[in-house]
Amino acid sequence: MAEQNGKSKTKLLDELEKGPWPSFVREIKKTSDVSPTCDDLLGQLELSYEERKGHWKHGGIVGVMGYGGGVIGRYSDVPEQFPKVAHFHTMRVNQPSGWFYTSDALRTLCGIWERHGSGLTNMHGSTGDIVFLGTKTDELEPTFAELTKAGFDLGGSGSCVRTPSACVGPARCEHACYDTLKLCNDLTHAYQDELHRPPFPYKFKFKCAGCPNDCVAAVARADLSIIGIWKDEIQQDDAAVAEYAAKGLDIQKNVCEQCPSKCMNWDGKKLTIENKDCVRCMHCINAMPKALRPGKERGAAILIGSKAPIVQGALLSSVLIPFVPEAELMETLKELVSRIWEFWDEYGKNRERVGELIQRVGMANFLDAIGLDPAPEMVTAPRDNPYIFFREEAAK
């Protein structure tokens, strides 16, 4: 496809096929037998690389009836040269919790997209959605009709609740401190209006991670991160610890000395953990999963304010509620989220994420507005981060 008179038409892009790692150029070329748009797509990208200039126009507005999001309009600014990608809209499809599919479901999705679009997909976008790449305006409604018939729905785009996502949680992982899959599903259903009809100053993302390993990167990318955590002591199996030691694991060097709060001690026979100093970093549990497990009193910490860089720089989440038992999670979130949205809606500037708003007004004012008391867990270490001033009487 990419050759003419024996010469490749995509000289610069071909460089990206070299090396042992995955290559989107190779993947797109491989799809060219089912997807007739591939050569124009790569052709336009090659032109962009040559000219060091993007050739997608910004901000098309297309969509399906009843929804204000889920479709991202893309138009080429060189349609005469690459007519097959003159329209190349993206559709976001709400992924199942934890990205579990039957092969039937995947075939159905691919079938729909080969009939109505380019056949190219991105599994998955960074928010978590299934991303259908490239179609024309006329195909949007038929695609949507087929998707809903097959039990799928569009995801979020624009200034809305973006499609919530969750790690695989208790379905495959022994560290999960709450049912991330259920919470993700419940959130998706609870906020259908806000997901499909953008009401906010900017996007709002929920991510549910089952433990502090945070496999969905909630702490870095979600406006509201729900991260599994335990309140009591790490469950310890001494026999299994000894087994790790016998098999050659240097517990002192690779476990105790790696502990950020130095709360562990290994005397060559017994491991003791000072649980009150544990910061829940997961390192020891990851190093000896058969010997150590999260405690029994499980739930989640709720954090606020992270984002990837777009309008302004990246932010990490701050703790908002240090621990919520699993049974109370959904109820707590609903109340909390309505207060956060009310404040953000009222005071947020256009395209200002909630984390940026908190930076602008100050965490103390934000907490005051949503009716939460400051707690020591909200700062890394005492006097380390002075964004909250405790009054003298409260400090005693």
Residue choice 106, 279, 308, 310 for contact with other proteins (CB under 8 A): 310
- What mask of x and - would describe binding to other proteins in positions 73 to 92, judged by CB under 8 A? x-x-----------x--x--
Find the distance separating the first CA and the last CA of the chain, reported in whole Å. Answer: 74
Q: Is 203 in the site for other proteins (CB under 8 A)?
A: yes
Least distance from other proteins to the Cβ atom of residue 119, Å = 21
Least distance from other proteins to the Cβ atom of residue 306, Å = 17
Q: Is 342 in the site for other proteins (CB under 8 A)?
A: no
Residue choice 43, 134, 164, 198 for contact with other proteins (CB under 8 A): 198
Give whichever of 108 and 306 is closer to other proteins, judged by the CB atom: 306
219, 258 in Cβ contact below 8 A?
no
Give the three-state DSSP class for 249: coil
Instruction: Report the C-alpha gap between 138 and 115 in whole angstroms.
Output: 13
Give whichever of 34 and 311 is closer to other proteins, judged by the CB atom: 311
Q: Is 193 in the site for other proteins (CB under 8 A)?
A: yes
Q: Is 132 in the site for other proteins (CB under 8 A)?
A: no
Instruction: Report the C-alpha gap between 127 and 164 in whole angstroms.
Output: 8
Distances (CA, A) of 331 to 193, 325, 327, 382: 18, 11, 9, 31
Looking at 53-61, 128-136, 208-216, 294-302, which segment touches other proteins (CB under 8 A)? 53-61
| Helix 329-347 and helix 363-370, axial crossing angle in degrees, nearest 10 | 120
* Structure tokens given for 129: 């959605």
Which residues, numbered 220-259, are part of the site for other proteins (CB under 8 A)?
A: none
- The backbone torsions φ and ψ at residue 130, rounded to the nearest 5 degrees and listed phi first, read -75, 130
Instruction: Report the C-alpha gap between 281 and 261 in whole angstroms.
Output: 9
Residue choice 197, 220, 254, 266 for contact with other proteins (CB under 8 A): 197
Q: Where would I find the H helices in 261-328?
A: 283-287
Residue choice 11, 30, 253, 351 for contact with other proteins (CB under 8 A): 351
Q: Is 199 in the site for other proteins (CB under 8 A)?
A: yes
310, 255 in Cβ contact below 8 A?
no
Q: Give the long-range contacts of residues 387-392, CB within 8 A, separation 24 or more.
A: 387/362, 387/363, 388/363, 388/364, 389/364
Least distance from other proteins to the Cβ atom of residue 61, Å = 5
Residue choice 16, 47, 62, 273 for contact with other proteins (CB under 8 A): 62
Q: Is 63 in the site for other proteins (CB under 8 A)?
A: yes
Residue 277 C-beta-side C-alpha neighbours within 13 Å: 11
Strands (E), 139-269: 165-166, 206-209, 224-230, 235-236, 264-266
Q: Is 119 in the site for other proteins (CB under 8 A)?
A: no
Q: Is 58 in the site for other proteins (CB under 8 A)?
A: yes
Q: Is 7 in the site for other proteins (CB under 8 A)?
A: no
Least distance from other proteins to the Cβ atom of residue 212, Å = 30
Residue choice 59, 309, 313, 382 for contact with other proteins (CB under 8 A): 59
235, 296 in Cβ contact below 8 A?
yes
Residue choice 202, 230, 244, 343 for contact with other proteins (CB under 8 A): 202
Give whichever of 198 and 210 is closer to other proteins, judged by the CB atom: 198
Least distance from other proteins to the Cβ atom of residue 156, Å = 10
Residue 8 host element (H or E): strand 7-8
Least distance from other proteins to the Cβ atom of residue 345, Å = 6
Instruction: Report the C-alpha gap between 205 and 160 in whole angstroms.
Output: 9
Least distance from other proteins to the Cβ atom of residue 211, Å = 31
Least distance from other proteins to the Cβ atom of residue 66, Å = 6
Give whichever of 31 and 137 is closer to other proteins, judged by the CB atom: 137
Least distance from other proteins to the Cβ atom of residue 239, Å = 54
51 alpha-carbon distance from chain centroid? 33
68, 197 in Cβ contact below 8 A?
yes
Q: Is 350 in the site for other proteins (CB under 8 A)?
A: yes
Interacting residue ranges for other proteins, rule: CB under 8 A:
57-63, 65-68, 72-73, 75, 87, 90, 157-159, 193, 197-203, 310-311, 345, 350-351
